Structure 1
């Protein structure tokens, strides 16, 4: 046979015998290709869905793929943007933050219906990777998810902050307001730091049993530093959890959060162990921490939980009250006619003596100043987000499990339908309202609730009783002693009026820095402030700490038990 022909026959025979095997391989490769293509198609399809708002969700501003509405949330004065969206999209709207949902409640009824009436599923917190997992090792009660540990912490907080216990702290409030008045008298231009020292010293006494005598106190500076150190958490780590698996060097804030936790834990534990030592030596002053230590013996919870619970009371209690009082000072500068009305009432009731809690029933306009301060300049304009733990439906809208649920505090409290001319500070709005904050929060008619500055539902602030009294004493006594005047521009010669909508953003919001000319109303009031503080210092030792535990002031039952 010709060799060439034989060669061709061998090739044909090989192809014929090999063809079935090659077909199987080809079919396998084709199947694999189809599977990979389908998987890629699913990934691409899901990726295109990220950032988009499903049709059955509450309405909201248009979104972009992958990022949703992230690009539309401003870095500064975001409360004004949230208010604008409320006007456009109604009492409940949604924002898409990457692959996560945020549902914004912008009416009192929506807050009542969901956070109060459905609190069983609306009492958790959304994932907060940096401020909670990293910067507190999961110990911070404010951001703790709903569960067994949080319920225990909540019960403990009620034990140390309920209205009966809170009444025993009135001597601390009385002393610290007098110290603040003296500071305003000696250095009025530093009024922000005097207010912060007042609220910090009051809270260190309530929490740990010792005073913060000056605004330069190292502990005060450390607490404020820690409060703001990680205020801008890395949003990308919350919005896109997969990024947490990337190297830490790509997200320096992770390491900052760990360092923050070390400093914060050391400070809280130092204060907690000092209170324990004082209790053992019999030198402890009445405070939340002492009650907490007694409960610890009964229930056996850890020192870490105890120190973070007491430390969190310190941070939250001081910052919120300070923010509201700074807002009040700004209101007196912007609306001097309201200050004049308040001073006329105080002069009529108190005359030449400092107001005290005995005067609470007889000063309705001052009580209105407290309520209006909480409404007009809340310390938390967008609340602290809740999280829903299961799918829910409201007003025919789907609210997916895990959504962050935000109270648009600023939007609700500045709704003209609820409060006509809302940016006008007007204490007379509350002329017929005698409720305290707790009573208003529990009013079945939510339209009669005065403010949402302390939150809602099971997460509502349990220190409301203390805050109400601290605000009343500070507002009534500063108005009795001082006038709050506008400063004059050096170039224009015109009075400078602060912008009341311009706030410093963060977990707690303040008015942007403004100037105020604070002057004594008379030489007599100047002298009396000095005498009151001189008498108060007689109760203090050389370190300006209480010599002995203060006895409760004999003030009548100015509010119901």
Structure 2
């Protein structure tokens, strides 16, 4: 009998080893799938509407003010979490502060990434935006820069810029009060543009390409930022469908928004680089960071360009939303306006409020907090993606699930905020009238590792603009041609970012002295 060669023996032995290894891998995979199925059966997923075969809960998903429907589901099923499945994607909505704190803060390692969101990342082109990056090294590098450049100390350093543009805003209100929505946007964009790029916006009322780019990017985020607004989020293959194909109108919308996002991501950055090359660039976040780079550091330039575009495009969103709601509340609640003005008048005389007066104006600070609670800027916070299987309160949460924090429901929880539908700044005050440190609106700025890095700058901008507006102006209901008061509709936009829709009101100087104080501001 012929003997086997050494090579042949080695080959057979290798194959003999590979067979059980392959079988072991197959068995392991099958056991893993079996375990997952058993887990789903043993530990039920959070409750929710009963799904249909294949399409799941597609027809159950709300398309307008989704946060209200999700809160109703949470109350109906008596559960912090609500689960739906849409075309094979598990979506879990978090409706209470208890669940949000446990998942997003205590278990942040599992709940800090983002779903793919092909509409907003691929088609609109917002991959560069920090808010939509997955929780990976690129995100960490971007977050580090944004966190450093929007720190509380940086906010204090930029207060002179905020005061300068607040004076312009007050003068605009005085000269053309009917255009107050436009003046709000001008103020917010001017502060951010100068801080990030050292550039100046054109006067309010004049078309400005930078403001147009920023508002276009924000509009895109608002329209497409809620996961599943567009079917392509659930079926990513649809992103390859041409715009002329029936039902592919989303392609045309994405193309329009991409034009704005491309400008926001590149044009201001390019202008700063050109100004630096000519030696006349103004000091800004971008110029400071670029000056530290080594020649030819393309990766570094890309990082700075993306972080700058993130701060620029989103930096004005919170201030614009809050100020619109502030004016609406002043029209609806003149007694609240009068109380805030009385507090200011008791502390500040012969001038407008400054940042030095903030601690002495607790009711004004409480009013700002209530604005953020009553009408949260982002009612459904940016979605998360669960990184691994998890359990919460006896419920099984599968890896890959899209997790949606319902900030509106959290800030409307009657166990935390008594009579939540009522606008009441005193809920944030002690009996003595000081700010209550145990009461906050932290959920308004996000959760865990993905909390908004620009919250300090946003709160600073809200304070100085609202305090000075109250000191200088009275805001009342508009009057129609027949002499009747016009009550605002109180309607809001319904996307990721929430804004009060345009309404009319009367904005008048409180006194001749108020006009003098506006002109004297910063002198």
TM-score (norm 2): 0.84
Residues 424-503 of structure 1 correspond to what in structure 2 (within 5 A)? 424-432=422-430, 448-490=439-481, 494-500=484-490, 502-503=491-492
**Runs of 5+ unmatched residues, structure 1:** 1-48, 441-446, 536-561
**Runs of 5+ unmatched residues, structure 2:** 1-36
DSSP 3-state at the match of 1:422: coil
Q: Deviations over 1:294-328 (max 9, x none)?
A: 45449762434332221121111112210111011
The question of whether the paired residues in 2 share the 8 Å contact of 1:383 and 1:407 is answered with: yes
How many residues end up aligned between the 2 structures? 473
Of structures 1 and 2, the larger Rg is shown by 1
The question of whether the paired residues in 2 share the 8 Å contact of 1:139 and 1:308 is answered with: yes
Quick one: which of 51, 59, 63 aligns to 1:71?
59
Q: Which residue of 1 aligns with 2:281?
A: 284
The alpha-carbon distance between structure 1 residues 323 and 230, as it changes in their structure 2 partners (threshold 3 A), is: closer
DSSP 3-state at the match of 2:299: coil
Q: Deviations over 1:269-292 (max 9, x none)?
A: 221122223344443333221233
In the aligned structure 2, how far is the partner of 1:303 from the partner of 1:99?
40
In the aligned structure 1, how far is the partner of 2:316 from the partner of 2:416?
29
The alpha-carbon distance between structure 1 residues 288 and 53, as it changes in their structure 2 partners (threshold 3 A), is: farther
Q: Which residue of 1 aligns with 2:270?
A: 273
The question of whether the paired residues in 1 share the 8 Å contact of 2:216 and 2:257 is answered with: no
DSSP 3-state at the match of 1:453: helix
| CA shift for structure 1 position 245 | 5.2
The alpha-carbon distance between structure 1 residues 91 and 434, as it changes in their structure 2 partners (threshold 3 A), is: farther
DSSP 3-state at the match of 1:197: helix
Residues 148-297 of structure 1 correspond to what in structure 2 (within 5 A)? 148-215=137-204, 216=206, 217-229=208-220, 231-233=222-224, 235-244=230-239, 246=241, 249-250=244-245, 251-254=248-251, 256-258=253-255, 260-261=257-258, 263-294=260-291, 296-297=293-294
Q: Deviations over 1:525-561 (max 9, x none)?
A: 123223438x5xxxxxxxxxxxxxxxxxxxxxxxxxx
Q: Please tell me whether residue 57 in structure 1 is matched to residue 45 in structure 2.
A: yes
Q: Which residue of 1 aligns with 2:347?
A: 349
Give RMSD over aligned pairs.
2.7
DSSP 3-state at the match of 2:85: strand
Q: Which residue of 2 aligns with 1:559?
A: none
The alpha-carbon distance between structure 1 residues 435 and 155, as it changes in their structure 2 partners (threshold 3 A), is: farther
| CA shift for structure 1 position 138 | 2.8
Q: Which residue of 2 aligns with 1:94?
A: 83
TM-score (norm 1): 0.78
In the aligned structure 2, how far is the partner of 1:193 from the partner of 1:315?
17
DSSP 3-state at the match of 1:301: helix
| CA shift for structure 1 position 72 | 3.2
In the aligned structure 2, how far is the partner of 1:136 from the partner of 1:406?
22
The question of whether the paired residues in 2 share the 8 Å contact of 1:371 and 1:451 is answered with: no
In the aligned structure 2, how far is the partner of 1:88 from the partner of 1:279?
59
Larger CA deviation: 293-302 vs 61-70: 293-302
The alpha-carbon distance between structure 1 residues 394 and 230, as it changes in their structure 2 partners (threshold 3 A), is: closer
In the aligned structure 2, how far is the partner of 1:269 from the partner of 1:92?
40
